[in-house]
């Protein structure tokens, strides 16, 4: 990394107490905070989280049953670092970047403590095309060369942030190289390979922040049109169990238009990660026609894996994301679930006997959350490229109650809130994103982009949100007096709102047509439904009874457009709109004649 | 260090005893504790330092004195002896035979705590299990390798439902049908349940002739509370052996998880830990996950572990930490409803809050039937609408409802009485369940069925009015 740090100093200590994943040791007075340690005879991975008077407290990332006082501890004198380089994409790691596939090959179906595997394939040959030659300037973030990592991803080898600015003294010709080979040497005496290391807990630097004014298109209508997220934005999806957090995260990971996806399964189910592992390779990216696994990295620290590693897994995920951001890519990080991460903090804090704040969570919970979400954003990288990290964090509030500390503190640091609603989920209305409780502050920043793309967006969005708010108010009255007591104009609002719900907001991830919806189709569907509303209002003013409007066959068609019209045949939506307009014209003729007679 | 003994205690408080150290003890190591009565009590080391060790007892602490107590370190974690002979045996909560027969003949001993399954070694579960219960098969399908708990309340028929599932469960997927003699086993862990409940399950297993394929671990209500923390771990260790070593399809029934969680709270409180919600420890989620995640299928093994944990929700409150955290870990839940039960309905499954997360990949053409997804989605939507119509009817009266809403009421009534309710011995095929669903949907006007595609409506929706159609059709 930085200019040749002195070789790290290894310090040997001795365990004095074992209490679950928290271990006390003596003789480690010289160790630094957050230095990596090898704990016990099994040399389990750990991290020093507290030092006082010669003693140190260590959290152990692996199952440490059987560990006893008297065993030795080695402090390696450097922070927990990740290996970054080609070979990351398509790999599944655990929270401390152990490659799970390779562990399976070496130690079977169950994860045992103390087993290791190469984080990156050290012997694989990569076709490297250099971008620099002797005499060229090099500094932090300079493009060194290119490697085709997968069909979808060109791996841009960039000089690490600590590179001393100077000139290249030697570089290799284009050809096949492994991660062990030096591909470039500088006049300052540094030699670079295709890989580099970076501490997980430290944010990788960038030159400056850019405004998040470009949308992250997810293909989900309720998000893209109503509650949009920017590239570089941060969103939270809170919801009780069974409301579809993971399903929503999967849907976004599959179809959003980011270049790289980092999916962090933090304290969640093993089968969900298996689902990703089996399903993603089969799914084709609608934009590139390649398997979406070719742009995805998975971090899996499932709920039954050691709790300390769960705490780090979030940082591991975001560091990998920053590495690809620095290449100039738009990266989306799914963190599922940040509540499990917060609970890991709570559990470790409890074992350290710290004074708890709210609901047993440590007082530094909001600080940690802020640090995490602030690593998202759109930036100009050290090399002058523009890249972004969008963070989508799932929150699992106990009892589905959003007033709990993790949801509340998260809300302070995100600007897009997709609240999942229990009643919608019970009716299997997915994505169960509530149109009443959700919000997106990015809508303002994205207006300009949409004005260029389709100026209708902002009006449609405002109309739809307004309609749904009016429906909610009316529902309160309906609950008392029934819908029949309302005048036709107001009942029409209920009818249209129902059409918006069924025909626009609800979206099935299992329907081949409906699972991904291009922006043009999204706009057209919503436009057609709002046009229906406008025409129906006029018709009612002209004396047409609502029952006649509701009975129009052209109306029923509108609720099915989402699944009957494929993304590449959206002119059929215009046809449906014309059909509807003709039906209204017909009604208008009948009723104007009746009036005349 | 195996066999070493300490004499004398520093402190004894609830299930935790503290002893001055003379030799190092490993974290999690099993110990035997002898009081002045000479009786052997089991426990494990929960904290080990240079100067002292803390031991958590699995059994009663009565009769322990500070001076005369001896602690023997047993050198490793608690292990269970496993072998094919497990089948048909009954063990106590700590995995010792309690049916009067000797220990099983095997030298294969496994750490009851298990190890986490590598997510990349899992096989995604997608084999449909037909339970014969419409509310489960049709709406919240059980999949082989799934963990699907029953959220119940005191007095609700969760035991009868679990027994019915165990009796009727069968695999339909084409591949499995060929090898109809696939071996299966049932592992039953009773934690703090009454003797009568244990008896009920034994009788039920006996009646269906599967008792020789059942392994039982019983820590009954009168056994020491702390023992319950070990019981499910023993059961799952046996299940893992049967599934992954013997290649059997294992159905694990864990009841009652509420008793397990209370035991955990008791230990946590006596260790003076900072509590989180309702006094439960902050690691309740991780601890439950270490049990529930021991379900599934792994590469290279034909077997599977399907878990049906049963828990009684204190005060029927689904937001209580026990059902809440369980729901966050398991792949769905079957919720029982007291109101339905009071109306005399069995199995009184509350369809809307119930969920099966693995359903999406285990149903459809080739697995159940091509219309399954759509008919279940439409039934969910229609029944949810019924619920809001009922709220309205409670205020303005049924007579004032619009004709469409009246149809929804009619649909809801028939859905509850014909679809959700069924006899305890009524084993419905999936085809019958889905046909029944369509027949009920025929009560509603076709244009209301927006969740179903026109093709499926054309193919399956009965032409005549659902109310006019025959109430029961033979398969």
Cβ-nearest to B402 among A273, A277, A483: A483
Determine the Cα–Cα distance for residues A259 and A390; give it in Å rounded to an integer.
11
In a domain, A285, yes or no: yes
Residues in Cβ contact with A575 at an 8 Å cutoff, skipping those fewer than 6 apart? none
ipTM of the complex as predicted: 0.87
Pair (A84, A153) in one structural domain: no
Please list every residue in chain B whose beta carbon sits closer than 8 Å to the beta carbon of residue A481: 395-396
Please list every residue in chain A whose beta carbon sits closer than 8 Å to the beta carbon of residue B395: 479-482
pLDDT of residue A1: 42
Say if the Cβ atoms of A271 and B285 lie within 8 Å: no
Pair (A366, A227) in one structural domain: yes
Pair (A74, A137) in one structural domain: no
Please list every residue in chain A whose beta carbon sits closer than 8 Å to the beta carbon of residue B27: 18-20, 64-68
Residue ranges of the domains in chain B? Answer: 4-76, 80-361, 372-460
- Best residue of B119, B121, B454 to probe chain A, by most A CBs closer than 10 Å: B119
Residue B237 has pLDDT above 80, yes or no: yes
In a domain, A4, yes or no: no
Cβ-nearest to B275 among A69, A360, A479: A360
Pair (A390, A510) in one structural domain: no
DSSP-derived secondary structure letter, A104:
H
Residue B92, helix vs strand vs coil: strand
Among A80, A4, A536, A92, residue whose Cα is nearest residue A308: A80
In a domain, A445, yes or no: no
% of chain B with per-residue pLDDT over 70: 94
We report the CATH number of the domain holding residue A549 as 1.10.1140.10
Task: Provide mean pLDDT across the span A272-283.
Answer: 89
Q: Which of A436, A470, A496 is the last residue of a domain?
A: A436
Question: What's the pLDDT band for A21 if we cut at 50, 70, 90?
Answer: confident
Q: A69, exposed or middle or buried, with CB in 10 Å at 0-12, 13-18, 19+?
A: buried
Residue B431 has pLDDT above 90, yes or no: yes
pLDDT tens digits for A61-89? 988 989 999 999 999 989 999 999 999 99
- Best residue of A73, A104, A242 to probe chain B, by most B CBs closer than 10 Å: A242
| A126 bridge partner residues | A177
Residue A211's Cα: distance from chain center in Å? 19
In a domain, A465, yes or no: yes
Which H helix or E strand runs over A579?
A: helix A571-596
Report the phi/psi class of residue A440: left, alpha or beta, with left for phi > 0 and alpha for psi in -120 to 50.
Answer: beta
Q: Which of A145, A160, A194 is the last residue of a domain?
A: A194
Cβ-nearest to B24 among A70, A426, A428: A70
Pair (A354, A244) in one structural domain: yes
Say if the Cβ atoms of A427 and B380 lie within 8 Å: yes
What rounded mean pLDDT belongs to chain B? Answer: 90
| B281 bridge partner residues | B275
Say if the Cβ atoms of A300 and B116 lie within 8 Å: no
pLDDT tens digits for B362-382? 999 888 999 999 999 999 999
Question: What predicted TM-score, i.e. pTM, was given to this entire model?
Answer: 0.91
Please list every residue in chain A whose beta carbon sits closer than 8 Å to the beta carbon of residue B323: none
Pair (A287, A218) in one structural domain: yes
> Angle, to 10 degrees, between the axis of helix A365-373 and the axis of helix A338-351?
140
Pair (A479, A364) in one structural domain: no
pLDDT tens digits for A150-191? 989 999 999 999 999 999 999 999 999 999 999 999 999 999
Pair (A467, A549) in one structural domain: yes
How many beta carbons lie within 10 A of that of residue A353, not counting itself?
A: 12
Residue A202 has pLDDT above 90, yes or no: yes
Q: Which residues of A182-221 are buried (b: 16+ CB within 10 A; e: fewer)?
A: ebbbbeeebebbbbbebbbbbebebeeebebbbbbbbbbb
Among A143, A139, A238, residue whose Cα is nearest residue A186: A139
Pair (A162, A247) in one structural domain: no
Please list every residue in chain A whose beta carbon sits closer than 8 Å to the beta carbon of residue B299: 104, 109
Pair (A420, A530) in one structural domain: no
Question: What's the pLDDT band for B274 if we cut at 50, 70, 90?
Answer: confident
Residue B456, helix vs strand vs coil: helix
Cβ-nearest to B282 among A101, A346, A484: A346
Residue A4 has pLDDT above 80, yes or no: no
CATH topology of domain B80-361: Rossmann fold (3.40.50)
Residue A209 has pLDDT above 90, yes or no: yes
Say if the Cβ atoms of A100 and B120 lie within 8 Å: yes
Say if the Cβ atoms of B124 and A360 lie within 8 Å: no
In a domain, A532, yes or no: yes
How many beta carbons lie within 10 A of that of residue A244, not counting itself?
A: 24
- Alpha-carbon Rg of chain B, whole angstroms? 25
Which CATH number, 3.40.50.300, 2.40.10.170, 2.102.10.10, 3.90.1150.10, labels domain B4-76? 2.40.10.170
Please list every residue in chain B whose beta carbon sits closer than 8 Å to the beta carbon of residue A305: 116
Say if the Cβ atoms of B296 and A271 lie within 8 Å: yes
pLDDT tens digits for B321-342? 999 999 999 999 999 999 999 9
Angle at CA of residue A351, ends A348 and A354, nearest 5°: 90
In a domain, A271, yes or no: yes
In a domain, A535, yes or no: yes
Say if the Cβ atoms of A427 and B384 lie within 8 Å: yes
Chains A–B, number of C-beta pairs less than 8 Å apart: 225
Say if the Cβ atoms of A479 and B392 lie within 8 Å: yes
pLDDT tens digits for A554-574? 898 898 899 999 999 999 999
Say if the Cβ atoms of B50 and A70 lie within 8 Å: yes
The total number of structural domains in chain A stands at: 4
By residue range, what is the domain housing residue A97?
11-107
Helix ranges restricted to H, B171-244? 174-178, 195-207, 231-240
Determine the Cα–Cα distance for residues A577 and A588; give it in Å rounded to an integer.
16
Say if the Cβ atoms of B119 and A400 lie within 8 Å: no
Taking the CA of residue A93 and the nearest CA in chain B, the distance in Å comes to: 9
Q: Which of A79, A107, A135 is the last residue of a domain?
A: A107
Phi, psi of B70 (to 5 degrees): -115, 140
**Which residue in chain A has the smallest CA separation from B388?**
A479
Pair (A500, A553) in one structural domain: yes
Say if the Cβ atoms of B277 and A303 lie within 8 Å: no
Pair (A424, A308) in one structural domain: yes
């Amino acid at each position: 990394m930085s200019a040749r740090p002195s070789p790290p100093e290894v310090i040997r200590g001795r365990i004095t107490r074992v209490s679950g994943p928290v271990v006390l040791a003596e003789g480690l007075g010289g160790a630094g905070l957050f230095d990596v340690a090898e704990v016990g005879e099994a040399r389990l991975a750990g991290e020093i989280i507290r030092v006082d008077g010669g003693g140190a407290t260590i959290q152990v990332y692996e199952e440490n049953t059987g560990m006893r006082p008297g065993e030795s501890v080695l402090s390696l004198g450097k922070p927990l670092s990740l290996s970054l380089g080609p070979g990351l994409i398509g790999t599944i790691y655990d929270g401390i970047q152990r490659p799970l596939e390779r562990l399976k090959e070496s130690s079977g179906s169950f994860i045992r403590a103390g087993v290791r595997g190469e984080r990156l394939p050290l012997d694989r040959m990569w076709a490297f095309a250099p971008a620099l030659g002797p005499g060229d300037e090099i500094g932090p973030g300079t493009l060194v060369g290119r490697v085709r990592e997968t069909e979808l991803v060109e791996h841009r080898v960039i000089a690490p942030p600590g590179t001393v600015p100077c000139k290249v003294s030697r570089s290799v010709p284009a050809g096949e190289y492994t991660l062990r080979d030096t591909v470039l040497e500088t006049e300052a005496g540094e030699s670079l390979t295709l890989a580099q290391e970076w501490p997980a807990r430290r944010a990788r630097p960038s030159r400056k922040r850019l405004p998040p004014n470009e949308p992250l298109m997810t293909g989900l209508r309720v998000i893209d049109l109503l509650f949009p997220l920017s590239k570089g934005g941060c969103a939270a999806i809170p919801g009780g169990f069974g409301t579809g957090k993971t399903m929503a995260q999967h849907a976004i990971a599959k179809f959003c238009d980011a270049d790289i996806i980092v999916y962090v399964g933090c304290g969640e189910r093993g089968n969900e990660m298996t689902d990703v592992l089996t399903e993603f390779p089969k799914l084709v990216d609608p934009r590139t026609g390649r398997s979406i696994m070719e742009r995805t990295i998975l971090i899996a620290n499932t709920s039954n894996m050691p709790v300390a590693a769960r705490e780090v897994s979030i940082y591991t995920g975001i560091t990998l994301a920053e590495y690809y951001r620095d290449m100039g890519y738009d990266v989306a990080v799914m963190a599922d679930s940040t509540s499990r991460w917060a609970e890991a903090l709570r559990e470790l804090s409890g074992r350290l006997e710290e004074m708890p704040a709210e609901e047993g969570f440590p007082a530094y919970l909001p600080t940690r959350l802020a640090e995490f979400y602030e690593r998202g954003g759109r930036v100009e990288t050290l090399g002058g490229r523009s890249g972004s990290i969008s963070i989508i964090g799932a929150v699992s509030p106990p009892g589905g109650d959003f007033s709990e500390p993790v949801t509340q503190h998260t809300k302070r640091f995100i600007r897009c809130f997709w609240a999942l609603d229990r009643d919608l989920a019970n009716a299997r209305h997915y994505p169960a994103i509530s149109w009443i409780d959700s919000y997106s502050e990015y809508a303002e920043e994205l207006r300009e982009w949409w004005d260029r793309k389709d100026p209708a967006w902002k009006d449609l969005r405002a109309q739809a949100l307004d309609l749904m708010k009016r429906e909610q108010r009316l529902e309160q009255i309906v609950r008392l007096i029934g819908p029949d007591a309302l005048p036709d104009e107001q009942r029409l609002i209920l009818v249209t709102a129902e059409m918006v719900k069924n025909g626009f907001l609800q979206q099935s991830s299992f329907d081949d047509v409906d699972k991904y919806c291009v922006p043009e189709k999204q706009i057209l569907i919503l436009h057609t439904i709002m046009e229906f509303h406008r025409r129906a209002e006029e018709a009612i003013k002209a004396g047409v009874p609502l029952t006649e409007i509701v009975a129009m066959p052209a109306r029923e068609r509108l609720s099915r457009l989402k699944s009957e019209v494929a993304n590449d045949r959206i002119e059929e939506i215009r046809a449906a709109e014309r059909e509807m307009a003709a039906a209204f014209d017909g009604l208008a003729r009948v009723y104007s004649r009746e009036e005349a007679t | 260090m195996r066999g070493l003994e300490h004499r004398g205690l520093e402190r004894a408080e609830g299930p935790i005893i503290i002893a001055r150290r003379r030799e190092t003890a490993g974290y999690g190591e099993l110990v035997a504790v002898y009081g002045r009565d000479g009786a052997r009590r089991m426990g494990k080391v929960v904290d080990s330092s240079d100067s002292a060790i803390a031991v958590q007892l699995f059994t009663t602490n009565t009769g322990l004195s500070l001076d005369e107590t001896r602690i023997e370190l047993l050198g490793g974690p608690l292990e269970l002896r496993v072998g094919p002979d497990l089948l048909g045996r009954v063990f106590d909560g700590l995995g010792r035979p309690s049916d009067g027969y000797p220990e099983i003949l095997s030298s294969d001993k496994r750490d009851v705590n298990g190890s986490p399954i590598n997510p990349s070694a899992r096989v995604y579960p997608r084999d449909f299990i037909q339970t014969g219960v419409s509310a489960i098969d049709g709406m919240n399908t059980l999949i082989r390798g799934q963990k699907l708990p029953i959220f119940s309340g005191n007095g609700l028929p969760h035991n009868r439902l679990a027994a019915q599932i165990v009796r009727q469960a069968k695999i339909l997927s084409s591949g499995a049908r060929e090898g109809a003699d696939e071996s299966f086993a049932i592992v039953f862990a009773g934690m703090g349940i009454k003797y009568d409940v244990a008896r009920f399950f034994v009788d039920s297993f006996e009646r269906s002739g599967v008792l020789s394929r059942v392994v039982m671990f019983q820590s009954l209500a009168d056994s020491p509370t702390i023992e319950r923390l070990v019981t499910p771990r023993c059961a799952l260790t046996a299940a893992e052996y049967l599934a992954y070593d013997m290649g059997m399809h294992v159905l694990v029934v864990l009841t009652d998880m509420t008793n397990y969680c209370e035991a955990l709270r008791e230990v946590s409180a006596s260790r003076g830990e900072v509590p989180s919600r309702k006094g439960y420890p902050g690691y309740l989620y991780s601890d439950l996950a270490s049990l529930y995640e021991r379900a599934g299928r792994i590469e290279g093994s034909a077997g599977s572990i399907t878990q049906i944990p049963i828990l009684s929700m204190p005060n029927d409150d689904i937001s209580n930490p026990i059902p809440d955290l369980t729901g966050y870990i398991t792949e769905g839940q079957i919720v029982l409803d007291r109101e339905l039960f009071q109306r005399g309905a069995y199995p009184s499954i509350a369809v809307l809050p119930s969920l099966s997360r693995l359903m999406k990949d285990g149903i459809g053409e080739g697995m159940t039937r091509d219309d399954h997804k759509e008919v279940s989605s439409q039934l969910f939507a229609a029944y949810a609408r019924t619920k809001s119509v009922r709220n309205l009817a409670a205020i303005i009266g049924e007579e004032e409802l619009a004709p469409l809403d009246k149809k929804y009421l009619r649909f809801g009534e028939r859905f509850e009485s014909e679809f959700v309710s069924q006899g305890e011995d009524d084993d419905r095929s999936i085809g019958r369940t889905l046909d029944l669903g369509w027949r009920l949907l025929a009560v509603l006007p076709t244009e209301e069925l927006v969740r179903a595609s026109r093709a499926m409506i054309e193919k399956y929706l009965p032409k005549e009015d659902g109310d006019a159609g025959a109430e029961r059709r033979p398969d």
